[in-house]
């Protein structure tokens, strides 16, 4: 499990005035919920960078007044102009209590379609899962060793560990092997399928 550890300072004051005072001192006001009581605290901007500016999923190990808390980042608010983090919400991981998180999808194997000149195009990079902290994973894997030219794999093809529930629709495409124009047939079936595969959804990310 990927983790990132840092310390925070518990603060008594809450509300806009108290949060503004924390920001004026160069900190980020935060709240941790999910335990017996909500805890307000502050952290340094550098502490949260490893949770926000990364494609990886990580668990935060936050030390407050000498006590270690394992948490996940649930939400962050950003300044509309400079995009500085203004506030962060953390959910404390509690034994036996299920949580919902989004984790990245990684590929295993080598696609035969890519070997013959196809282009691997990933259209879904993160999958939402539900599980308990003891079953929590930071990555899901998808075997692409059977993907030929023009074929694709969906959420249902992702390897899911025991105790982990996938929340996405199983029919959503995750990755496809796009046929380059140079390999397309003039009027065969392959050419027709390639044309469809060559036109990714408007919100699909660029291929890696």
CA 173 to chain centre: 17
Same domain, 108 and 169: yes
Helix (H, G, I), strand (E, B) or coil at 131: strand
Same domain as 63, residue 107: no
Could you tell me if 118 and 68 lie in one domain? no
State the total domains in the chain: 2
Enclosing domain of residue 56: 3-94
How far apart, in whole angstroms, are the C-alpha atoms of residue 44 and residue 60? 14
* Domain boundary, last residue among 68, 94, 120: 94
- 208 residues of the chain, pLDDT tens digit each: 999 999 999 988 778 888 999 999 999 999 999 877 899 999 999 999 999 999 999 999 999 999 999 999 999 999 999 989 999 999 999 999 999 999 999 999 999 999 999 999 999 999 999 999 999 999 999 999 999 999 999 999 999 999 999 999 999 999 999 998 776 765 444 444 444 444 444 344 443 3
Q: Which of 75, 94, 113 is the last residue of a domain?
A: 94
Maximum Cα interatomic distance, the chain, rounded to a whole number of Å:
71
Token pair 């060793």: residue: 145
Tell me the whole-structure pTM to 2 decimals: 0.80
Same domain? 106 vs 181: yes
Could you tell me the CATH number of the domain that includes residue 170? 2.170.120.20
Q: Of 164, 12, 165, 19, nearest to 89 (Cα)?
A: 19
Characterize the bridge pairing of strands 59-64 and 3-10.
parallel
Residue 165 domain-assigned? Answer: yes
């Amino acid at each position: 499990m990927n983790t990132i550890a840092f310390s925070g300072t518990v603060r008594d004051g809450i509300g806009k005035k108290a949060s503004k005072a924390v920001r004026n001192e160069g900190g980020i006001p935060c709240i941790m919920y999910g335990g017996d009581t909500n805890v307000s605290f502050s952290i340094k901007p550098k502490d949260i960078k490893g949770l926000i500016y990364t494609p990886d999923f990580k668990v935060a190990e936050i030390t407050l007044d000498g006590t270690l808390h394992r948490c996940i980042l649930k939400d962050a608010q950003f300044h509309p102009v400079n995009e500085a983090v203004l506030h962060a919400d953390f959910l404390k991981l509690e034994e036996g209590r299920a949580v919902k998180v989004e984790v990245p999808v990684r590929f295993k194997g080598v696609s035969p379609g890519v070997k013959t000149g196809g282009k691997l195009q990933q259209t879904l990079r993160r999958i939402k899962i539900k599980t308990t902290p003891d079953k929590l994973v930071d990555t899901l894997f998808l075997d692409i060793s059977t993907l030929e030219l023009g074929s694709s794999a969906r959420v249902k093809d992702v390897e899911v560990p025991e105790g982990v529930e996938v929340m996405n629709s199983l029919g959503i495409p995750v990755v496809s092997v796009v046929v380059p124009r140079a390999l397309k047939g003039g009027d065969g079936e392959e050419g027709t399928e390639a044309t469809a595969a060559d036109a990714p959804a408007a919100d699909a990310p660029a291929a890696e």
